């Protein structure tokens, strides 16, 4: 049997098992798009030092370029999520794929910092669909029982791309220069986007109910009303607060780590690519493990998945300190692999909980609204002066100062678990009308909100 045929057969068996007999085509197509989009992201991260030298940028200017671009793109996730709750999401997926592929090609052609910034922004807009819109579609393609493993497989498409992407980028960069890596990304993204046109838009909320009945119809709420509804979900509110610290810890980390291995240990594009691929591989294992364990965690209690998510987020902080404390390359690599493994655990339970607690008509916006808080975290990172630590004190200190953000964010995320069961009941009840126990109750505490939507106005506001 040919290797390609064997690979396809294995993937089919994996998807059939993890979708629990439901259709595998949506998961396969959306995962393939996520996989090929990551080639570009991985190439840029792996070749960051070469790109930085090509345009003669200081650490602070280069990291600023990356973070400002990422922040602008992340902020766009909110209007895109709001739009996705109102239009055909499959059409948005196709448009996003065209943008991602086209601007990946443009990245390899640019000749100035301004054009590089524009190209990365365009590619970032193209990959916006990969989390809020894909997750919203997957929530409506698949039932709650299969969602943890479905989300795990979709997330692992990212890490498969991160495994192969750095290796391909490293080889291409070493052999032909950094620009060649971005030429390679264009063709598979466009081909997969064409295949995505065969997807069918699912009915929103149709898989939420165990009886298979569709939720109530009616127009979706306006932006302000939708945001108020989502803010009234206590679980989401806590995760949004956690996202502030995650944004401060995650976005700078993605830019710092390749620079750290080049600057501290003198590694070239190929070696950095191998390390990036190895980190993605262990994260892949962690994601699969988290996806398998999430149903068992739910069985122990609806609060358990968020508690586990908080633990793995908090564990990243000490992991970063171990990376920078090691005076040897082998130690830094080993601790980076351990940290990456733990990070993998958080994705499946977090996505499964968010899909359950978010009302179906606001689900795309829910998956994207956290972007505002991620950007707030980046702003916090810069206004505290931490953006200049690398130039002033070196990359070891720059990585070390990220650790507290992960620990605090993990603690806040874990505290969200106490609200999950109630919020799931409210989300399901919203599909067919007010919950049976939604009679008005007195506000509990001086900070209880009085402008929440009707189905949540009676609840105490703990945050």
The CATH number of the domain holding residue 74 is 1.20.1250.20
Q: Which residue has the higher pLDDT, 324 or 186?
A: 324
Provide the CA 167 distance to its chain's centre, in angstroms.
22
441, part of any domain: no
Q: Where would I find the H helices in 301-416?
A: 304-325, 329-344, 347-357, 363-383, 389-393, 395-400, 403-415
* pLDDT tens column, 243-261: 889 888 877 887 788 888 8
Q: Whose structure tokens read 């294992």?
A: 285
Percent of the chain scored above 70 by pLDDT?
86
Of the ranges 25-29, 100-104, 251-255, 436-440, which is most confident? 25-29
Residue 51 within a domain: yes
Task: With cut-offs at 50, 70 and 90, classify the pLDDT of residue 208.
Answer: confident
Q: Read off the pLDDT of each residue in 158-178 and give the average, rounded to a whole number.
A: 76
Instruction: Indicate whether 445 belongs to any domain.
Output: no
When the pLDDT of each residue in the chain is averaged and rounded to a whole number, the result is 80
Q: Give the whole-number percent of the chain exceeding pLDDT 90.
A: 15
Q: Distance (Å, rounded) from C-alpha 350 to C-alpha 178?
A: 35
Distance CA 425, CA 445 (A): 23
Instruction: Provide mean pLDDT across the span 170-194.
Output: 82
Question: What is the tens place of the pLDDT at every residue in 390-403?
Answer: 777 878 888 888 99
For the ranges 71-75, 289-293, 378-382, 391-395, the lowest mean pLDDT is seen at 71-75
Q: What is the pLDDT at residue 170?
A: 74
pLDDT for position 453: 44
- How much is the average pLDDT of 435-447? 40
- The residue among 388 and 2 whose pLDDT is bigger is 388
Show the domain range for 41: 23-206+220-430
Provide the pLDDT for residue 413: 92
pLDDT for 334: 92
Is 15 contained in some domain?
no
- Contact in structure between 93 and 133 (CB atoms under 8 Å): yes
In this prediction, residue 448 has a pLDDT band, given cuts at 50, 70 and 90, of very low
Q: Which of 266, 205, 248 lies closest to 410, judged by CA?
A: 248
Dump pLDDT digits (tens) for 339-381: 888 888 888 888 889 888 888 788 888 888 877 787 788 778 8
**Number of residues assigned to the chain:** 463
User: What Å distances lie between residue 22 and 26, 27, 138, 140, 189, CA to CA?
Assistant: 10, 10, 12, 12, 26
Q: Which of the four pLDDT bands, split at 50, 70 and 90, describes residue 407? A: very high
131-164, pLDDT tens digit by residue?
A: 788 988 998 899 888 888 888 888 888 778 777 7
82 found inside a domain: yes
Confidence of residue 449 (pLDDT cuts 50, 70, 90): very low
**Does any domain span residue 437?**
no
pLDDT score, position 235: 93
Among 47, 167, 172, 166, smallest CA distance to 116 is for 47
Check if the beta carbon of residue 229 is closer than 8 Å to that of residue 359. Answer: yes
Is 85's pLDDT higher than 50? Answer: yes
pLDDT at 215: 52
In a domain, 365, yes or no: yes
Cα–Cα distance for residue pair 133/94, rounded to 1 Å? 11
Q: Which residue has the higher pLDDT, 435 or 408?
A: 408
Tell whether the model's pLDDT for residue 217 goes beyond 60: no
Residue 401 lies in a domain: yes
Tens digit of each residue's pLDDT (9 = 90 or more) over 87-120: 899 999 999 889 888 888 888 888 888 888 888 8
Total structural domains within the chain: 1
Q: Please tell me the predicted confidence (pLDDT) of residue 71.
A: 66
Percent of residues in the chain assigned helix, strand, coil, to nearest 5: 75, 0, 25
């Amino acid at each position: 049997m040919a290797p390609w045929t064997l690979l396809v057969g294995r993937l089919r068996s994996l998807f059939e098992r993890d979708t629990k007999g439901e259709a595998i085509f949506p998961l396969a197509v959306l995962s393939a798009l996520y996989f090929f989009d990551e080639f570009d992201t991985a190439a840029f991260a792996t070749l960051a030092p070469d790109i930085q030298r090509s345009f003669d940028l200081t650490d602070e200017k280069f990291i600023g370029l990356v973070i400002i671009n990422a922040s602008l793109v992340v902020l766009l996730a909110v209007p895109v999520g709001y739009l996705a709750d109102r239009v055909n999401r499959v059409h948005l997926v196709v448009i996003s794929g065209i943008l991602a592929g086209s601007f990946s090609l443009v990245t390899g052609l640019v000749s100035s910092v301004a054009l590089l910034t524009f190209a990365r922004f365009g590619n970032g807009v193209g990959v916006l669909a990969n989390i809020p819109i894909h997750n919203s579609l997957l929530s409506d393609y698949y039932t709650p029982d299969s969602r943890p493993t479905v989300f795990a497989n979709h997330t692992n498409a990212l890490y498969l791309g991160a495994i192969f992407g750095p290796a391909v980028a490293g080889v291409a960069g070493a052999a032909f220069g950094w620009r060649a890596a971005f030429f390679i990304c264009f063709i598979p993204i466009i081909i997969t986007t064409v295949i995505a046109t065969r997807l069918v838009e699912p009915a929103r909320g149709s898989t939420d109910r165990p009886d298979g009945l569709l939720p109530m119809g009616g127009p979706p709420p306006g932006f302000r009303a939708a945001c108020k509804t989502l803010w009234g979900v206590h679980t989401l509110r806590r995760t949004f607060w956690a996202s502030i610290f995650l944004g401060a810890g995650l976005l700078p980390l993605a830019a710092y780590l390749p620079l750290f291995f080049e600057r501290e240990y003198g590694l070239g594009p190929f070696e950095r690519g191998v390390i990036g691929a190895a980190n993605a591989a262990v994260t892949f294992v962690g994601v699969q493990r988290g996806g398998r364990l999430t149903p068992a965690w739910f069985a122990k209690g609806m609060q358990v998945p968020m508690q586990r998510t908080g633990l793995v987020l908090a564990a990243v902080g000490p992991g970063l300190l171990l990376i920078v404390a090691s005076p040897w390359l082998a130690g830094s690599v080993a601790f980076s692999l351990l940290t990456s493994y733990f990070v993998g655990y958080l994705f499946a339970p977090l996505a499964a909980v968010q899909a359950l607690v978010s009302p179906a008509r606001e689900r795309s916006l829910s998956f994207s609204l956290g972007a505002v808080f991620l950007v707030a975290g980046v702003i916090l990172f810069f206004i505290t002066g931490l953006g200049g630590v690398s130039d002033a004190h070196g990359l070891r200190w720059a990585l070390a100062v990220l650790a507290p953000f992960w620990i605090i964010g993990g603690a806040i995320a874990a505290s969200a678990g106490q609200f999950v069961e109630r919020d799931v009941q409210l989300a399901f009840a919203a599909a067919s009308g007010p919950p049976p126990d939604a009679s008005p109750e007195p506000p509990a505490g001086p900070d209880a909100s009085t402008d929440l939507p009707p189905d949540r106005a009676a609840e105490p506001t703990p945050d």
